[in-house]
Structure 1
């Protein structure tokens, strides 16, 4: 670690292999908390490079508890957080809509960081039992269409980093790594990012993988399609700007996406949308993100057709049916 730190302090960057090697050793508990803190501080002082992030991602995936769903065509929809917008659980809602439309979803997430309610808060509130039992998870995907990976159960290496992150009390590279670390290695991924720097970084990581991907950033700062402004979307196919009208929807005010002041508030909003009593803004933002997820899985389909599939899944209560089955499984 001393050699690595001196190398980095001199302004050098790591290759993907070097980044993978050093983070593997951190994850195996080979270094002290002070050494880990010094290492993480480097990437507060300068931006992590794409090659470095690719190596860090590989290390974490090598160290995770993997779940082999390679015989399914799956998607994960997740945001980096950090946008400070405190929305309701839009990515999680879109996952149930996608599953309601007949696709397979392997959702990866954790407790809320920048909002009142993260995906784990939502699943836990409704009684979902977190597990890393591959047979139970496989049965959920096969029979219901969706399962949930509570990140701490799949990334034991984080136990060596967690105390350091809590002590530092600042964002570290691990705050933006989460969406890259789904332990089932989904073939498709829709990722929302909170700024254009992270978008560029993620693009460098994803373009060297074999995943179908879409990276989304709403230009007014949301880490998803918000319908409050235009959004930039980078995929394995192209790079474009999408306006709310491209989905067939109006432009909404930011306050219409609020998640409330508590997990209970966010859960009430979430359930009302599935039950068909949400506001137009709430319903449409879920549909828009679900449509983009379907488009990621099926690039040959038009966005209009994807919106139609997502709308049908929500309005005909197919998404609610999936939700009810999973929570009572």
Structure 2
């Protein structure tokens, strides 16, 4: 039986309330989010969908925390459903708990659009971090750069059995979906969540976005819509509500004014371990060249979620600053994959600018996750760096762990296991 075409919903009334904005009675975030939800089921005409995105852009409503949080929640709800129970079971059985890190899933991602066209730093950092953290890297193909996260990974070849050797085998990113995530995580700490697989409704949005000359709300929602960030309904039996499987994340934004907005949106969505960063050059990463503005979402001593704002510099991580020209421009996916291979095979000099760039971003995620924190502080190995920097974070210890992830070969091993796992998935698992 052929599926019925969904009924198109008229949102003209909402549009009339958006432009011009009334002095009072501005549409609430949920009204806007309900209209955005219709995009994912192809229930808005292209004309009205474009009009809504334009209204949100020119009124600035798409850069308001409550609107972003509500729309991201609708986008996650429309995503392919991820069952959190098997993920929690694997986290318990294959514990990575260390310090204040509980072994949950982690992500590091940028909004893009910073025009710097640097190397795929967040993607590289996600692989390095998988030596210690269970990663759920959410990403897509390139939109505003030469090489997106999916483009790099599709070209990152499987490490051979001999050091410095690679094969022609690459990860099958299309086979990673909700049904196969448990089998992936039973083998490796790393998984890549390819946006077109997990957000099929975005296929209705893409043609509209391509016809508009401005960045829209959807350029901002991706980092807030990781599909493993599943919040369950309140239990009816009085038991405690289980947390999202997504434990920690770092999000880079391309403009400083977006930092506090993203931080507040994250707090609204229930995040308890996150950091929003923006390099002073309007870079959606922690900068290797100079200051980075940070908004750290975390629990205080009373258990309340607070946002601390401070700056980080390369020296806070114990590395030398380098101009962005030393780590850019980003190259083709194949060239960036070759660079990533040299990182995983520990072939780059210790003071290599690009390596330091990757390590400071990896370190930030480790600190946010709580990995460097030792519950028995004061009883640590001699090599552990206990020094604290801005915001109270042990940023230098994070870099030490990132270096260890590469030098020990563990990051390379986790990537190897991931490639193997994606190529062992049978077609019946992805039906």
Shorter-normalised TM range? over 0.9
Q: Please state whether the residue corresponding to 2:257 is helix, strand or coil.
A: helix
2:15 corresponds to which residue? 5
1:307 corresponds to which residue? 399
Distance in 2 (alpha carbons) for counterparts of 1:276 and 1:5: 55
Report the structure number with the largest CA radius of gyration.
2
2:416 corresponds to which residue? 324
1:190 corresponds to which residue? 250
Please point out which of 1, 10, 14 is paired with 2:27.
14
CA contact under 8 A between 1:259 and 1:269: conserved in structure 2?
no
CA contact under 8 A between 2:366 and 2:372: conserved in structure 1?
no
CA contact under 8 A between 1:108 and 1:150: conserved in structure 2?
yes
Tell me the alpha carbon deviations over residues 159-199 of structure 1, each in whole angstroms, 9 at most, x when there is no partner.
22111111224321101111111100122111111111221
Please point out which of 196, 212, 217 is paired with 1:168.
212
Give the superposed CA RMSD.
1.7
Q: Please state whether the residue corresponding to 1:187 is helix, strand or coil.
A: strand
Report the more deviating stretch, 248-257 or 7-16. 7-16
How many residue pairs get aligned? The number is 328
1:225 corresponds to which residue? 286
Q: How does 1:24-35 map to 2 (within 5 A)?
A: 24-35=37-48
Report the more deviating stretch, 281-290 or 40-49. 40-49
Q: Which has the larger helix fraction? A: 1
Unmatched 5+ residue regions in structure 2?
Answer: 1-10, 92-103, 157-169, 230-245, 299-307, 374-393, 422-431
Tell me the alpha carbon deviations over residues 245-278 of structure 1, each in whole angstroms, 9 at most, x when there is no partner.
0000000011221254321221111111221223
Distance in 1 (alpha carbons) for counterparts of 2:56 and 2:82: 30
Q: How does 1:1-329 map to 2 (within 5 A)?
A: 1-12=11-22, 13-47=26-60, 48=62, 49-69=64-84, 71=88, 72=91, 73-100=104-131, 102-126=132-156, 127-130=170-173, 131-185=175-229, 186-211=246-271, 212-237=273-298, 238-278=308-348, 280-298=352-370, 301=373, 302-329=394-421
**Shift of the alpha carbon at 1:62?**
0.9
Structure 1 stretches (4+) deviating beyond 4 angstroms?
Answer: none
Tell me the alpha carbon deviations over residues 198-247 of structure 1, each in whole angstroms, 9 at most, x when there is no partner.
21221120121322111111111211112111111111142111110000
Please give the TM-score of this superposition, normalised by the length of structure 2. 0.73
**Shift of the alpha carbon at 1:132?**
4.3
Q: Please state whether the residue corresponding to 2:347 is helix, strand or coil.
A: coil
CA contact under 8 A between 2:73 and 2:269: conserved in structure 1?
no
